[in-house]
Amino acid sequence: MVENSELRKAGLKVTLPRVKILQMLDSAEQRHMSAEDVYKALMEAGEDVGLATVYRVLTQFEAAGLVVRHNFDGGHAVFELADGGHHDHMVNVDTSEVIEFMDAEIERRQREIVAEHGYELVDHNLVLYVRKKK
């Protein structure tokens, strides 16, 4: 469970909208949520937080390192809590579902390829666009 101390550690004042949005991201079944998804979930929960506030708070959270923004092809931005663990993504092109995965062999090969070209890997983002087999 995300706590108010995380907002303070990130240098953000603890406000009701920030707490509610952080709790929503933490407790949502869906790990990757757009600002609109967060807004709709808050409305369904009876919370009075405006869409502009949701956008502003998510931008503040991103700047503070609390969330990661992803802009997958063909879609709008989605956010996920920054939990410190690395993973890659698959995006179902038919449903826009985002599937997380981690593969040690892919990670190893990326480091090898970078080294073979005389570089050091600083960061990477792997997104596979997929479709269910028929």
- pLDDT in tens for each of the 134 residues of the chain? 566 677 777 777 788 888 899 988 988 888 899 999 999 999 999 998 999 999 999 999 999 989 999 998 766 789 999 987 889 999 999 988 899 999 999 999 999 999 999 999 998 989 999 999 98
CB atoms within 10 A of CB 61: 24
Amino acid at 122: V
DSSP state of 5: H
- The whole-angstrom separation of Cα 53 and Cα 17 is 8
Answering whether pTM is above 0.85, one says no
